[in-house]
């Protein structure tokens, strides 16, 4: 087994993969891709991922791009307990993987893009979208510990990073006690590794 993760340290997408690797105790070489210098659009990187995005995982001869695809691959290859085989629970996990690429990306992730990377989105609309998503997550976690089933799954890993770092995009998590308790449960898992805080995150915690 020879694992290499191509990442950008401030990318929540990349952190999903890095976090899951760490939770599984899988050693991987971390290769930083300098997005600011356009390294993700150079031919050598486009050979790994023609979409020019991080993260990318190389496992021997296998190359897997896209953060949620990497989660699925790692679960199937190394830790099947993280991706239920029961059809209903598998579908519920897929629902959250889709949410990670949909309302999570359009809400808390995009709000963070505005403050951390200077993206030109409407902050008020984006923060409102983030809270709409967070209200759903809060309601889903009322009376339960994890998003799907009785144990953590890749649904939790896919949703965690951008929700945990939503305050970096001026999205307040204080109205969501069940959600905040869920974040703490993930952070208490053996092998948890945090994402590097941005300057916006450091200001928010000061």
Spatial distance between the Cα atoms of 102 and 94, rounded to a whole number of angstroms? 12
Domain identity same for 90 and 137: yes
The CATH number of the domain where 71 resides is what? Answer: 3.40.30.10
Domain identity same for 12 and 30: yes
Spatial distance between the Cα atoms of 159 and 100, rounded to a whole number of angstroms? 6
End of a domain among 81, 110, 144? Answer: 81
Tens digit of pLDDT for each residue in 26-75? 999 999 997 777 778 888 878 888 888 899 999 999 999 999 999 999 99
> How many domains is the chain partitioned into structurally?
2
Mean pLDDT across the chain: 92
- pLDDT > 70? residue 94: yes
The residues near 22 (Cβ < 8 Å, ≥ 6 apart) are: 191, 192, 193
Domain identity same for 75 and 163: no
Spatial distance between the Cα atoms of 108 and 103, rounded to a whole number of angstroms? 8
Give the CA-trace dihedral at 199, 100, 127, 124, to 10 degrees. Answer: 100
Q: Please tell me what DSSP assigns to residue 102.
A: T
pTM tops 0.85, yes or no: yes
End of a domain among 81, 101, 133? Answer: 81
Spatial distance between the Cα atoms of 31 and 158, rounded to a whole number of angstroms? 21
Position of tokens 């989660």?
Answer: 71
Please give the C-alpha separations between residue 156 and each of 33, 64, 80, 165, 180, in angstroms, as whole numbers.
26, 20, 15, 14, 13
Domain identity same for 19 and 98: no
- Is residue 51 within 8 A of residue 101, CB to CB? The reply is no
Domain identity same for 66 and 77: yes
Give the CA-trace dihedral at 115, 165, 127, 33, to 10 degrees. Answer: 50
Task: Mark out the alpha helices in 9-109 (DSSP H runs).
Answer: 12-23, 43-46, 67-78, 87-101, 103-104
Domain identity same for 71 and 171: no
| Listed residue (95, 113, 92, 206) closest to 162, CA to CA | 113
Domain that holds residue 68: 3-81
What value does the mean pLDDT take over residues 120-134? 97
| Listed residue (24, 21, 157, 43) closest to 96, CA to CA | 157
Domain identity same for 23 and 90: no
Domain identity same for 108 and 69: no
Beta strand residue intervals within the chain, DSSP E: 3-7, 28-32, 56-59, 62-65
Domain identity same for 107 and 142: yes
Domain identity same for 97 and 145: yes
| Listed residue (43, 41, 19) closest to 30, CA to CA | 19
> Which stretch of 24-28, 49-53, 94-98, 131-135 has the lowest confidence by average pLDDT?
49-53
Domain identity same for 66 and 102: no
End of a domain among 26, 51, 81? Answer: 81
Q: What is the pLDDT of residue 44?
A: 82
Domain identity same for 73 and 91: no
The residues near 99 (Cβ < 8 Å, ≥ 6 apart) are: 133, 158, 159
The CATH number of the domain where 160 resides is what? Answer: 1.20.1050.10
Q: What is the pLDDT of residue 199?
A: 57
């Amino acid at each position: 087994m020879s694992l290499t993760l191509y990442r950008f340290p401030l990318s929540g997408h990349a952190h999903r993969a890095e976090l899951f690797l760490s939770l599984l105790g899988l050693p991987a070489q971390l290769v930083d891709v300098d997005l600011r210098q356009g390294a993700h659009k150079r031919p050598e990187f486009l050979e790994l991922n023609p979409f020019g995005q991080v993260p990318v995982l190389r496992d021997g001869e296998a190359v897997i791009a896209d953060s949620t695809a990497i989660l699925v691959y790692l679960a199937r290859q190394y830790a099947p307990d993280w991706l239920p085989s029961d059809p209903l629970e598998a579908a519920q996990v897929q629902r959250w993987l889709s949410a990670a690429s949909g309302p999570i990306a359009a809400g808390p992730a995009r709000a963070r893009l505005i403050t951390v990377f200077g993206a030109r989105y409407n902050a008020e609309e984006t923060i409102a979208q983030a809270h709409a998503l967070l209200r759903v997550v809060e309601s889903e976690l009322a009376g339960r510990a994890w998003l799907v089933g009785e144990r953590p799954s890749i649904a939790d890993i896919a949703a965690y990073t951008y929700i945990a770092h939503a305050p970096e995009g001026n999205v307040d998590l204080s109205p969501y006690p069940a959600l905040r308790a869920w974040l703490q449960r993930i952070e208490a898992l053996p092998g948890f590794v945090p994402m590097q805080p941005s300057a916006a995150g450091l200001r928010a915690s000061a």
